[in-house]
Structure 1
Amino acid sequence: MSLAMQQKIEIAADKPYPVYLGSSLEGLGEYLRHQFDDIEHILIVSHQVVADLYAQRLMKGLQDYRINLLIVPAGEEEKSLDRLSRLTAEALGHGTDRKSLVIALGGGVIGDLAGFFASIFMRGIRLIQVPTTLLAQVDSSIGGKVAVNHSAGKNILGAFYPPQAVWTDFSTLESLPWEEVENGLAESIKHALIADGDLFQFFENEQKPIKHRDCLIWSEMVTRSSLVKIRIVSQDEREQGIRALLNLGHSFGHAIETEMDYRGITHGQGVSVGIVAAAHLAFAKGLMTSAEVDRVIALLNSYGLLTKIKGLDSQNLLHKMQADKKNQGGRKILILPQGIGQALVTKECSDSEILAAWKQVLF
């Protein structure tokens, strides 16, 4: 995947920042030296497996800096206040101060956790996102959302905290287990469903090279999917309008993850089931045809993504949806697909309609 040429795309925001696609891990140090003249200390936050694979490559370019590597155990449950407290103690032990830089080297969990840590440590220190998973490269590293979980719900405690840059090296995708690829595919297919019908067709037509990890097709997939997120975030940084569309499938998916205590299900699996539930609800509301719903389910199934889930109670899941951050005045705010390539935000879904959608994806 090193065949891709580097692209720089600027995100329009209160504090604009660049997303670099097709970069090299080794090249980040040179970028930092050109952009910042007051950085002496860098904290790299990562998982052990990711650090074993990529920390040395990253640090090759960072030899001018004092570096500490902080290892966080894997798992969504590590996005917690307890882990945040431990990170703070470790950072202080390494002499971290307001001029330090945090590099989040990893997937969505690391990006969220390290990003939230950076946003609150000494009222905020600088952050670079270095996403190493498909999900992080196409979605979670872009847009400045950082958060930790709470027993009441996923990402309840969070902030909008844009990084100084997003630095994406496609070669890190080569080591991903297929389960991690599926996480990213769920978000990428979501991007296509809400805003790019041609990208949806790309996923239908290019299944074989995507499954065989063809480097050029993967570069195109990451770039096109990232561009959907970049366009939307640039129009609505703080989710006052169109950015809410990016939550398609997430109200349902987060309810599943919370109900299962973030164990036994990945974020991508939750989102995939959530997309199907939202599609059934959209059909019930006259926003999709049955053929379009079938097309969505067929595409998700073709990549091995979950479209149903076993052993959960629809009433419990409905209750979990009460904690969704989009809700207003006790009313559930949902994102529904409108055909293939468009979506809308609605407050007009009754609990009975939502329960009916849940029953379509539970067995």
Structure 2
Amino acid sequence: MSLAKWPKIDVTADRTYPVFLGSSLEELGEYLHLQFEDVEHILVISHQIVAELYSERLKKGLLNYRVNLLTVPAGETEKSLERLAQLTTAALRCDADRKTLVIALGGGVIGDLAGFFASVFMRGIRLIQVPTTLLAQVDSSIGGKTAVNHPAGKNILGTFYPPLAVWTDFSTLESLPWEEVENGLAESIKHAIIADRSLFEFFENEEKSIKLREKSIWGEMVTRSSAVKVKIVSQDEREQGVRGLLNLGHSFGHALETEMNYRGVTHGQGVSIGIIAATHLAYAKGLMTSSEIDRVKRLLDTYGLPTVIKGQDPEALLQRMQSDKKNQGGRKILILPKGIGQAIVSKECTDLEILAAWKQVIS
């Protein structure tokens, strides 16, 4: 049997690994048999709703393995050291060892949490990412970032731990509520803004088809957006340079999520608002025109993504940005769009400029 039956894009970083596109959950076991002779035990980490929808499909291909399913509650707050400790206890009760393979079945939270668990359990065990949400398929499952949160900020504790493979089944997107779709659209539109103007135009032109969830258009959307992430990660796996561009909107968005204690705003909504704040900062720096800002805002509005937030204190949000992982020597490092289709890393944004950008998105 050949791996050629599964379409893929390779992440060519320190250790090359494939991102399979449009492969069925049931076939993952076949891939594992072809690639890894010494796997006997598999831990599937998921949350209850995703497990109810997809774990049986996944297990159909895993009949020759000893499989344990561990579920955690849904929500960003589950990315905690407390939950990590509970997962560790559960894994030991399942007789997990250094040869165990972890399958992260779910969205971004599961990918982060299960990935972080795999990276530290017995100093690191094997990991396969099986993303089931749009956000995870186009963004968070690719690139090897894993993390849990800390009261000081989102994803403060984490590792770079690339999976052995990313296994993407487009059919899992069919059950997503629109709010979850929005999370992924925010990341996909971000990819377009920083690196692919034609992808931005695709989102403008295919609004109706995307909203109707036409399979061929969704497949193209995931593939093209994933390709942006794969290309950037392949150039800079450890975020020493160009990979930083993927954080457009995230410094603002993470501050907002942390300030609101991960309630009342989703990750995608935070990124969407953060993108608009960044465009206003870019305008102040002469990197964008007002018509380009309007175009970005119009696209986000088209897909129901917010571009303003009510009742927040810009000073408090600025303070939250002090803990951002990208900061260096006390300076805030921000990603700013340069028109549509390019972006830059800026180390020269003052607190007054950032405050002014926050005020543009607070009503």
- TM surpasses 0.5: yes
Distance 1:199 1:8 in 2: 19
Distance, in Å, in 1 between the alignment partners of 2:79 and 2:265 is 15
Letter in 1 for 2:289: T
| CA–CA distance in structure 2, aligned partners of residues 317 and 12 of structure 1 | 37
Which residue does the alignment assign to 1:62? 62
| SS class of match (1:154) | strand
Report the equivalent of 1:161.
161
Partner in structure 1 of residue 118 of structure 2: 118
Q: Which residue in the other structure is 1:337 paired with?
A: 337
Listed one character per residue, the Cα deviations across residues 84-126 of structure 1 (whole Å, up to 9, x for unaligned) are: 0000000001000000000000000000000000000000000
User: Which secondary structure state, in structure 1, belongs to the residue aligned with residue 340 of structure 2?
Assistant: coil
Match of 2:360, as an amino acid?
A: Q
Q: How far off is 1:14 after superposition?
A: 1.2
CA distance in 2, matches of 1:230, 1:13: 10
1:296 matched residue in structure 2 = 296
Deviation of 1:189 after TM superposition, in Å, equals 0.1
Query: Deviations for 1:204-223, whole angstroms, at most 9, x for unmatched residues?
Result: 01000000000000000000
Distance in 2 (alpha carbons) for counterparts of 1:224 and 1:132: 17
Partner of 1:177: 177
Whichever residue aligns with residue 236 of structure 1, its letter is D
Aligned-pair CA distance for 1:6: 3.8
2:282 alignment partner, SS class? helix
The alignment's TM-score, normalised by the length of structure 1, stands at 0.98
Distance in 1, matches of 2:14 and 2:350, equals 36
Q: What SS does the aligned partner of 1:182 have? A: helix
**Pairing 1:274–2:274 present:** yes
Give distance in 1, aligned partners of 2:245 and 2:219: 24
Which runs of structure 2 are paired with 1:1-363 in the superposition (5 Å)?
A: 6-363=6-363
Alpha-carbon distance in 2 for matches of 1:7, 1:271: 30
What is the CA-CA distance between 1:9 and the residue it aligns to?
Answer: 1.3
Write the distance in 2 (CA, Å) between the matches of 1:210 and 1:295. Answer: 18
- Normalising by structure 2, we get a TM-score of 0.98
Does the residue aligned with 2:155 lie in a helix, a strand or coil? strand
1:8 CA drift (Å): 1.4
C-alpha distance in 1 between matches for 2:227 and 2:247: 16
Q: Deviations over 1:314-352 (max 9, x none)?
A: 000000000000000000000000000000001110000
**Partner SS, residue 128 of structure 2:** strand
Coordinate RMSD, CA, aligned? 0.6
Counterpart-to-counterpart distance in 1, 2:6 and 2:52:
25
**How many Å separate the matches in 2 of 1:334 and 1:128?**
31
CA distance in 1, matches of 2:13, 2:121: 22
| SS state at 1:272 partner | helix
What is the CA–CA distance in structure 2 between the aligned matches of 1:146 and 1:24, rounded to whole Å? Answer: 24
> What secondary structure is seen at the aligned counterpart in 2 of 1:142?
coil
> Which secondary structure does the structure 2 equivalent of 1:299 belong to?
helix
Listed one character per residue, the Cα deviations across residues 139-161 of structure 1 (whole Å, up to 9, x for unaligned) are: 00000000000000000000000
Separation of aligned partners in 1, 2:35 and 2:352: 54
Describe the SS at the equivalent of 1:258: helix
Which whole-Å CA distance do the structure 2 matches of 1:225 and 1:274 have between them?
Answer: 19
Aligned length: 359
Identity %: 76
Shift of 1:13: 1.4
Please give the alpha-carbon distance, in whole angstroms, between the structure 1 residues aligned to 2:240 and 2:45.
Answer: 31
Give the distance between the partners of 1:94 and 1:49, measured in 2 at CA: 22
Q: Which runs of 5+ in 2 are unaligned?
A: none
Task: Return the alpha-carbon distance in structure 2 between the equivalents of residues 206 and 335 of structure 1.
Answer: 27
- Determine the C-alpha separation between the residues in 2 that align with 1:250 and 1:8: 28
The answer for unaligned runs of 5 or more in structure 1 is: none
Q: Give the match's secondary structure for 1:327.
A: coil
The CA distance in 2 between the partners of 1:58 and 1:288, in whole Å, is: 46
**3-state SS of 1:97 partner:** coil
